[in-house]
């Protein structure tokens, strides 16, 4: 089959699924395979768009995701289902949980794997690299609170390993999994950017040394397909890099 060249327009932004959104691999067409499905109201970032994809109800504009996949513009909107509660209005407020944010697994990936953990929509956070390529044995990194708040949990869990959960002053909550150690305790106040622990490889759900970071409202919707968690990517002050 001859390769089709599309006219690409570079533009970066974040949109929200208006109903469950199928993201297509390889081409802006409903005939292309589905790489993942984004749950209604969840965010998806894009790096550009084409105006000459498959025409659906008179609309041929398709966005290109950060993963290099396509999703139809008619299936997204500029605000999320929780925007009235302030989710979309948060802005870039999060300090990095690590000194360097290199994402090895995005939000929403591998739904067939994570449905067994109670997250049928897919991966319910971001996994960040902690291993130094030149020295794989060196994987312990300082972990920082992304916002000021109060430590809700600092404990050991058989599945998630050593973990920290923080309730933030803005009504949101962050979680840090698979730690080697933590240096905080429940009830303790922390500031944004303060060291709260060290990354590791603990818990049976960890496939390799990394930091799993999750973010959700304290009054979360447990039926959103991600255990209430939302994609934190648009809210980081620092640039998030992605492993190809």
Q: How confident is the model over 55-78, as a mean pLDDT?
A: 89
User: CA-CA-CA-CA torsion for 234, 88, 123, 121, nearest 10 degrees?
Assistant: -150
| Same domain, residue pair 143 and 221 | yes
pLDDT on residue 182: 98
| Same domain, residue pair 120 and 151 | yes
pLDDT on residue 4: 66
Does a structural domain hold residue 3?
no
Does a structural domain hold residue 182?
yes
pLDDT on residue 44: 87
| Same domain, residue pair 47 and 159 | no
| Same domain, residue pair 75 and 96 | no
Residue ranges making up the domain that contains 52: 8-81
Does a structural domain hold residue 23?
yes
Domains of the chain: total: 2
| Same domain, residue pair 73 and 96 | no
Summarised one tens digit per residue, pLDDT across range 95-108 is 999 999 999 999 98
Q: Which of 32, 64, 81 is the last residue of a domain?
A: 81
Q: Give the residues across from 223 on adjacent strands.
A: none
| Same domain, residue pair 173 and 103 | yes
C-alpha 47/C-alpha 181 separation (Å) is: 37
pLDDT band for position 79 (50/70/90)?
low
| Same domain, residue pair 171 and 121 | yes
Domain harbouring 55, CATH code: 2.30.30.40
Does a structural domain hold residue 2?
no
Q: Which of 49, 81, 113 is the last residue of a domain?
A: 81
Summarised one tens digit per residue, pLDDT across range 156-213 is 999 999 999 999 998 999 999 999 999 999 999 999 999 999 999 999 989 899 999 9
């Amino acid at each position: 089959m001859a390769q089709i060249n599309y006219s690409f327009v570079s533009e970066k932004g974040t949109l929200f699924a208006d109903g469950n959104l199928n993201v297509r691999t390889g081409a802006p067409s409903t005939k292309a395979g589905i790489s993942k499905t984004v749950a209604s109201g969840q965010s998806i970032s894009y790096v550009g768009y084409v105006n000459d994809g498959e025409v659906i109800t008179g609309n041929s504009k398709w966005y290109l995701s950060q993963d290099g996949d396509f999703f139809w513009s008619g299936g997204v909107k500029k605000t999320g289902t929780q925007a009235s509660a302030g989710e979309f209005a948060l802005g870039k407020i999060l300090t990095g949980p690590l000194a360097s944010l290199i994402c090895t697994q995005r939000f929403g990936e591998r739904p067939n794997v994570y449905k067994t953990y109670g997250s049928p929509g897919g991966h319910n956070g971001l996994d960040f690299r902690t291993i130094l390529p030149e020295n794989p044995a060196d994987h312990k990194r300082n972990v920082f609170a992304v916002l000021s708040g109060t430590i809700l949990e600092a404990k050991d869990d058989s599945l998630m390993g050593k973990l920290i959960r923080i309730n933030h002053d803005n009504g949101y909550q962050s979680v840090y999994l698979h730690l080697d150690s933590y240096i905080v305790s429940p009830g303790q106040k922390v500031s944004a950017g303060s060291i709260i622990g060290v990354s590791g490889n603990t818990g049976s759900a960890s496939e390799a040394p990394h930091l799993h970071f999750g973010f959700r409202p304290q009054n979360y919707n447990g039926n959103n397909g991600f255990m209430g968690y939302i994609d934190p990517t648009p809210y980081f002050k620092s640039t998030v890099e992605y492993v190809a």
